[in-house]
Amino acid sequence: MTALEVAGRALAAESARYAGMGWMRGTSGNLSVVLGRDPLRLAVTVSGRDKGELSMDDVVLVDEHGEAVAEQPFPEKRPSAEAGLHARIAAVSGAGAVVHVHALAPVVAAERWPDGVPLRDLEMLKGFGRSAHDDLVTVPVIANGQDMRALGDAFEAGFAADTPALIVARHGVYVWGDDLRQARHRLECLEWLLRFTVETTLDAGGRGVR
């Protein structure tokens, strides 16, 4: 089995997990793993497919710009339009895997805190790689857009090595780690943290409390 096939199997399994959680509705979301650094190469889930129904073949090899490279076993398949942001995150952060889902809590949190979502003094922060107490974690938020280079510039401008996540306003969240498992654990913990933060800062009338 080739490295791309191994990656495709892992990406399909993770995608099915997230789809089952309601975080990859329709054909939304995309995942990637790094297969090489020099030059940068990533295996990225294909575009336009139900993420709960992917096979090991539903993967595309892309370069540092998120463009499909020439040596493709399935040249008719297209990478996600957001593959360029995956590549930028992997290049800047050194991550081995990047996951992008459309969980609701991060998007709602970004509406409430458009300059960055503050988190602190919650035990679940340990699962996100930060301290549970006396450690202010600010999850960056950037504006949505279709130009992945512009989104990549915005991500890099606010990048902090100890905060492995990025919320794209009115869109979704990116989380990364050394591998797909670590990225998954961080995402699951972050979603809990953001959901808790949103729900506990709403008053009885549904208005955000500052």
Residue ranges of domains in the chain, CATH in brackets: 3-199 (3.40.225.10)
Q: 191 to each of 15, 95, 105, 142, 169, how far by Cα in Å? A: 16, 19, 6, 17, 15
pTM: 0.93
Q: Helices 83-93 & 148-157, crossing angle to 10 degrees? A: 30
The residue ranges of DSSP E strands in 92-164, in sequence order, are 97-101, 117-119, 137-139, 141-142
Tell me: pLDDT of 209 over 80.
no
Tell me: pLDDT of 199 over 60.
yes
Q: What was the pLDDT predicted at 177?
A: 98
pLDDT digits over 43-76, tens only? 999 999 999 999 999 999 999 999 999 877 777 8
pLDDT digits over 162-196, tens only? 999 999 999 999 999 999 999 999 999 999 999 99
